Chains A and B, each alone.
Chain A
Amino acid sequence: SAVISQKPSRDICQRGTSLTIQCQVDSQVTMMFWYRQQPGQSLTLIATANQGSEATYESGFVIDKFPISRPNLTFSTLTVSNMSPEDSSIYLCSVVLGQGGAFFGQGTRLTVV
């Protein structure tokens, strides 16, 4: 298994500002994944963060809005830029260990006002 710590756990932000979410894993992993979970909904993959290369974004998500850093094999950040109320969601980072399924952080609950 893996232990994943996310910070902050929650935040209330003004529209037009940016928030950077940090994700720390207790082991080295090649890929880290960032998901969004809108209220009452399932998880949608935002991007895959690879160490040493640009993140790979899913359809509907762009780097200018969700820049990602991956400076080493245990850490990643996701920034939600120029926020609007529509960005209010839970943001989750995740890693996959072999065939063992995905492990998630506790999530960052973002409210944009």
Chain B
Amino acid sequence: TQLLEQSPQFLSIQEGENLTVYCNSSSVFSSLQWYRQEPGEGPVLLVTVVTGGEVKKLKRLTFQFGDARKDSSLHITAAQPGDTGLYLCAGAWNYGQNFVFGPGTRLSVLP
């Protein structure tokens, strides 16, 4: 049983479209991170959220942490081919400790 679930598992969209990826758990996390991983590379940290209800923006990416700190969403506006990759959410129960990763959402943005 996955501690973190992500949906959708796969997503293929046209350039310019908007999308939302979800990360859900029954556990409460002290922090939650989103990563993007491209083929042949390690995951790259996009954002860390720590406060319930927190919203962070990174250019066209908007991240939200659920009020109960059990879930999160990533919204991409006007997707571009460069956004293609595997998006992973990860939760931690204690600062400085290891994370548990979700199964990932594989995004493909077609030109």
Write the residues of chain A forming the contact surface with B, with a CB cutoff of 8 angstroms.
4, 30-31, 33, 41-45, 48, 92, 94, 96, 98-107, 109
Nearest 8 interchain pairs by C-beta: A104-B42, A101-B33, A101-B45, A43-B101, A101-B48, A42-B103, A42-B101, A107-B42
In the bound complex, how far is the Cα of B33 from the Cα of A107, in angstroms? Answer: 19
Give every chain A residue within 8 A of B41 (Cβ-Cβ).
106-107
Known: A102-B33, A106-B42, A109-B40. A42 touches B96 (CB 8 A): no
How big is chain B's contact interface, by range? 20 to 34
- Among A99, A102, A107, point to the contact of B90 (Cβ < 8 A): A102
In the bound complex, how far is the Cα of B99 from the Cα of A48, in angstroms? Answer: 11
B45 in contact with A102 (CB, 8 Å): yes
B45 in contact with A45 (CB, 8 Å): no
Give every chain A residue within 8 A of B85 (Cβ-Cβ).
none
A42 in contact with B102 (CB, 8 Å): yes
- Contact flags B16-49 to A (C-beta < 8 A → 1, else 0): 0000000000000001010100001111110110
Q: Total A-B pairs in contact (CB under 8 Å)? A: 65
5 A-B pairs with C-beta separation under 8 A: A42-B102, A44-B101, A96-B99, A98-B96, A99-B50
- Among B40, B43, B95, B98, point to the contact of A98 (Cβ < 8 A): B95
Known: A42-B88, A42-B101, A42-B103. A99 touches B95 (CB 8 A): yes
A105 in contact with B42 (CB, 8 Å): yes
Known: A99-B31, A101-B45. A43 touches B88 (CB 8 A): yes
- Among B43, B96, B100, B103, point to the contact of A31 (Cβ < 8 A): B96
- Among A48, A99, A105, A106, point to the contact of B48 (Cβ < 8 A): A99
